[in-house]
Structure 1
Amino acid sequence: MRIGELATKTGVSVRALRYYEEQHLLASERSASGQRHYSDRAVDRVQLIQQLYAAGLPSRSILELMPCVVTGEATPELLAKLASERDRIDGQITDLVSTRDRLDSVIASATATYLTGEPCRPQ
């Protein structure tokens, strides 16, 4: 498939796809006219790249992790890096849950204040 089709299927911009290629995260073959062509597996790969970016991993780390993700083979160093990234993500999840709980508390308090007709006052 061509780059525009991959962009449409993944919801990722053409510019981002070109960046992924520059970072060696994604590969394409070139036609005789120089157009990029991707395999059907590129959709899954782009989605994985997006997930890893969303988790806060930089492209350099994603590049290191890709062989393990694709083949399932890993060195002890790579396994340690994966565990470290997982622990970092777990910390982010804990922080986000705490933030959500605080927002729920504020919403509940503001809702109760609204229902009683009393103005909300800053604490």
Structure 2
Amino acid sequence: MRIGDLATRTRVSVRALRYYEEQGLLAPARSGSGQRHYADAAVNRVRLIQQLYGAGLSSKTIAELMPCVDAKVSTPESRARLAAERDRINAQIAELTLARDRLNDIIDVTSGPNPQCDYA
């Protein structure tokens, strides 16, 4: 598929896909005229990259870990790095859960009408 098709299927901009290529995260085949062509598997790869970015990993970290993902093997170092990222994400989840619970408490306590808090 062409870059525009991949962008549409993944809801990622063409510019972002080119950036992924520059960072070594995505490797399209090239036609004789230089056009990028992506295999169907690129859709899942872009989604994984997006998830990792969304989880707070840098492009450098993702690029360092992708060979292990591609080979479906890891080193003790890469496993430790993945575990550290997982632990960081778990800590963020815990913080977000606490914030959500506090908001729920505030909503419960302030459920009565109050003209001072009218945001209309």
TM-score under structure 2 length normalisation? 0.92
Task: Give the gaps of 5 or more residues in structure 1.
Answer: none
Percent of aligned pairs with the same amino acid: 62
Residue type at the aligned position of 2:100: R
* Distance across 1 between alignment mates of 2:90 and 2:69: 19
> What corresponds to 1:58 in structure 2?
58
| 2:65 aligned with 1:71 | no
State how many pairs are aligned.
117
> What corresponds to 2:2 in structure 1?
2
Task: Give the gaps of 5 or more residues in structure 2.
Answer: none
Q: Cα distance, 1:65 vs. partner?
A: 1.2
Secondary structure at 1:99's aligned position in 2? helix
> What corresponds to 2:103 in structure 1?
103
> What corresponds to 1:37 in structure 2?
37
Residue type at the aligned position of 1:40: D
Aligned 8 A contact 1:110 1:120 in 2: no
Which runs of 4 or more aligned residues in structure 1 lie more than 2 Å from their structure 2 counterparts after TM superposition? 118-121
Could you say which structure has the larger radius of gyration? 1
Q: Cα distance, 1:108 vs. partner?
A: 1.3
Q: Deviations over 1:29-50 (max 9, x none)?
A: 1111211101111000000000
TM-score under structure 1 length normalisation? 0.90
CA RMSD of aligned residues (A): 1.3
Q: Deviations over 1:23-70 (max 9, x none)?
A: 000001111121110111100000000000000000011011112222
* Distance across 2 between alignment mates of 1:105 and 1:119: 20
> What corresponds to 2:22 in structure 1?
22
* Distance across 2 between alignment mates of 1:71 and 1:95: 34
